[in-house]
Amino acid sequence: MVAASILTMVGLGIFFAGVLIFADRKLKVDEDPRVEELSQKLPGLNCGACGFPSCRMFAEGIVGRKEEAINSMCRIAGPELAELIAKIAGVTTEIAKEVAVVYCGAKTKDKTKKAAYKGVATCGSANIIFDGGMNCEYGCLGFGDCGKACPFDAIEMEDGLPKVDPYKCVACGKCVKVCPRNIMGLMPFNIDDLVIPACKSKNKGAVVRKMCSVGCIGCKICEKLSGGVFYVEEDHSKIKSERIKEDVKWDEIIKKCPTKTIVRLKG
């Protein structure tokens, strides 16, 4: 009886093993060898800058010529890898260098308080608890969630503000996503002309002056001097990077901004 049971179990094992082998051979989809080739050459950091969860999925997207993969490309790729990606994708493309920027210039001494924050030392927590005790509901909270999220060690906190190393930053966007105040963004990289409006307050100028000495008051001086590169909307200055030309008078704009909100970033 025991022997019969054992034989039955062995027989069932062999039968189902055969079924699995048959199914594997019958349903197997041969993978394009270029996926493996590209996967081996990609950084393997799975940073998500390309819009895909992993480097391998990006490789599959490129080989499959998916539009979202081709449009995003790999921001960390050097010239040789970028050329290989473009060749496999069947496109001629250049990867435009971008860098993360911080649209807030309020250092520790500039941030006025309405209360002392004693909660968890993260921007995410502080933002939902009485605005972290800050008067300005749009400024940097200063706990460095962006730096902790950066997989490339490109951000460090300095005097209450994130400082981005433009040479380490690959514009993966993780810092942009993690910032609860939405004061980080990506801009085309040009170390000489990396000029931004360092304030996103939507308050009127009179209110801003009471809260922050370096906040935008919406005076439109930058707009008039820049030929439309800067423009005032929602009571604060914004920038249209696609309008940047070689003859923008950056130094004059920076000098004449009354609250020194227009700043040039350096690595």
In tens, the pLDDT along 221-244 reads: 999 999 889 999 999 999 998 888
8 Å CB contact between 161 and 105: yes
The average pLDDT across 158-183 equals: 93
The per-residue pLDDT for range 187-196, each reduced to its tens digit, is: 888 766 789 9
Q: Against a cut of 0.85, is the pTM above it?
A: no
Residues 160 and 180 both lie in one domain: yes
DSSP letter for each residue of the chain:
-HHHHHHHHHHHHHHHHHHHHHHHHHH--PPPHHHHHHHHHS------TTSSSSHHHHHHHHHTT-HHHHHH--TT--HHHHHHHHHHHT-------EEEEES----GGG--BSS---S-SSHHHHHHTGGGGBS-SSS---S-HHHHH-TT--EEEETTEEEE-TTT-----HHHHH-TT--EEEEE--TTS-EEE-----S-HHHHHHH-TT------HHHHHHTTSEEEETTEEEE-GGG--TT--HHHHHHH-TT--EEE---
The per-residue pLDDT for range 11-27, each reduced to its tens digit, is: 666 766 666 665 555 55
Residues 230 and 147 both lie in one domain: yes
The answer to whether residue 113 is domain-embedded is yes
Tell which residue, 99, 76, 127, has the closest CA to residue 196.
99
The per-residue pLDDT for range 40-71, each reduced to its tens digit, is: 888 887 887 777 888 888 888 888 877 777 77
| pLDDT value for 23 | 55
| pLDDT value for 36 | 85
Please provide the average confidence, as pLDDT, over all residues in the chain: 85
User: What is the chain's alpha carbon radius of gyration, rounded to the nearest angstrom?
Assistant: 26
List the domain range (segments joined by +) for residue 134: 98-264
Residues 219 and 242 both lie in one domain: yes
Last residue of a domain, one of 54, 89, 124: 89
Residues 195 and 249 both lie in one domain: yes
